[in-house]
Structures are given as structure tokens and as C-alpha cells.
A and B are shown apart, each in its own frame.
Chain A
């Protein structure tokens, strides 16, 4: 079983749609949680950290459920520029990446 599991997608959504990504992790000792975004053939870039209290950054909302070892990302009002692969990441020391969920926002 992978340490971080994600639905690979792709998610094909129209502009303006709301889309939700889910992720589960297996190591209960994980300390930090993130969502990264990776564009094709580029390095990952931090989208946002994830906290149990939930956090929001503009159109993006992330949530962590430690009891269920479950992380989510909600994107509202999708833009074409949101098209990318979204990586669920957990950390004890180094980062452990999920395989990513590909999002394609269509006009």
C-alpha cells in the first residue's frame, strides 16, 4: 500500500466548476501536510499547508482529518490556469508525495 494515496484522475471540469480532491495517508506519525501543484515538466510548487482547523486561501480550501488520516482540497470557481497536477504531500522529515491528481479545466 502506498503511504499517500490519491485518485489519479484526470478530472475534466468546465470553467467555474467546483472540484474536490481527496487523499489518504497511512503513517499516523506524519507531522505536516501540504498540497503542491505541479505543471507539466516543472518542479512542484507549494499551494498551501493543511491544518486540522481547515484553511482557506482565496478559491482554495484545504482540510485535514487526523483521525481518518484524510486530506482534502476544494477548488471553487475553477480557472483555466488551475489545470495542473495536484500533489498531496505528508511530512515527517522529508516529504512523501502522492502520485498526484490531474485537473484539466476546460473553456
Chain B
């Protein structure tokens, strides 16, 4: 099946620093990728839709200036958590739909962010 990679898998940082997470589709091109966040014992919540060649669209309540998304190419989207705080500690997962938006999606392995 389609493969999506994510890097890093785990990051621990100090409060106030910025963290960049990369999401790559390895064997297909993705004009759209999605970023989700999952807090412990909760379901995945969509944060934003990353669009190649245009601005990302953010879900209600997600600060676009705090969570910067750049869809640099058809195989790479990055999420930068700026000025991270302990409440940003979470499991961040990206996904991409090989068949286009609305179809099944393949997920990256996730990035566990811990902000001290």
C-alpha cells in the first residue's frame, strides 16, 4: 500500500522553542495532506488541510500563526509548531490520500511532541 513517512518520530523541546515536523508521501504525489492532533485517550482531531501551491486551511480553533503549514512540493508538507508550550504536547499525525481528498488516507507514523 501507499507509504507516508513522518519525521521526527519523537521530539522533546523547551517551552518557547519552535519545532518542525515533516510529512512525506513516498510513492505517490499528494496535492492535499492533512494534519491531525491526538491528545491522550482522545480521538484524532483535524487541525488543518495542507494544499500544495496554496495556503493551508485551518479548522476552527486552530491558530494559523502558531501552527505554520507549508506544502512545498507534491510529496512534502511541513508543520511548524511555533513558540511551543506544554499544552501543545500531543501526538501529531499527518495523512495523505493517494486517490484524492475524500478517499481512504494513509497515515504517517506520527510525531510525539513533549514540551517541557
A residues contacting B by CB (< 8 A) are: 31-32, 34, 41-46, 49, 87, 91-100
Contacts and interface: CB of A to CB of B under 8 A. Distances in A.
B109 A49 contact: no
A34 B107 CA distance: 14
A13 B57 CA distance: 42
Size category of the B interface is 20 to 34
A95 B109 contact: no
B82 interface: no
Contacts of A95: 34, 44, 46, 95, 105
B54 interface: no
A14 B109 CA distance: 30
A65 B104 CA distance: 19
Given A32-B102, A94-B34, A95-B34, A42 B110 contact: yes
B48 to A, nearest CB: 9
